[in-house]
């Protein structure tokens, strides 16, 4: 069973690292620019920090069998950032994780991802989200549940 716990921003670095660990494909294909593990973690944390200067973000730890397996960040009806450890990217776990997101954000919410993050976009579409917008300038895809 998947559970979540609201956390402070200071707990995020460890959780982002957990979710990116051993995911070489993420760094090569889905991140903006080619990066290594430390750079990808820092880049994500920098983007979250920048957003936190303008938005009231909420941070969550994802837990499976009493073990931290990932994180997600939300604000005002948006799923802003998320990641689950490769080891736990199994159908039932991902569905449980998404159910937790729906409990936090409600039935209707949005997510914004860079268009090159096709793996995450496809996953959100599998969870019932639909692409509603694409910004050519920023290369950001907006999905809605």
pLDDT at position 80, please? 95
Residues 104/109/106/71 CA torsion (nearest 10 deg): -20
> If you search the block for the tokens 């069998």, which residue do you land on?
65
Task: Please give the pLDDT value at position 25.
Answer: 67
Percentage above 70 pLDDT, the chain? 92
Tokens matching residue 55? 């938005």
Q: At what angle do helices 37-52 and 12-20 cross, to 10 degrees?
A: 140
CB 47 within 8 A of CB 55: no
CA distance 107 to 67: 27
What does pLDDT average to over the chain? Answer: 90
User: For 66-105, what is each residue's pLDDT tens digit?
Assistant: 999 999 999 999 999 999 999 999 999 999 999 999 999 9
Residue matched to tokens 């909420």? 58
At 28-52, the pLDDT tens digits run 555 556 667 777 788 889 999 999 9
pLDDT at 64: 97
């Amino acid at each position: 069973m998947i559970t979540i716990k609201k956390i402070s921003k200071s707990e995020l670095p460890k959780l982002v690292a957990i979710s990116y660990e051993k995911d070489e494909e993420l760094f090569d294909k889905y991140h903006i620019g080619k990066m290594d593990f430390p750079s990808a973690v820092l880049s994500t944390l920098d983007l979250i920090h920048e957003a936190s200067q303008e938005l009231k973000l909420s941070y969550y730890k994802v837990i499976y069998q009493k073990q931290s397996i990932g994180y997600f960040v939300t604000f005002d009806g948006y799923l802003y950032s998320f990641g689950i450890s490769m080891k736990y990217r199994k159908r039932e776990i991902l569905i449980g994780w998404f159910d937790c997101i729906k409990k936090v954000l409600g039935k209707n919410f949005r997510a914004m991802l860079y268009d090159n993050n096709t793996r995450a976009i496809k996953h959100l579409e599998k969870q019932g989200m639909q692409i509603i917008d694409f910004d050519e300038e920023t290369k950001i895809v907006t999905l809605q549940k």
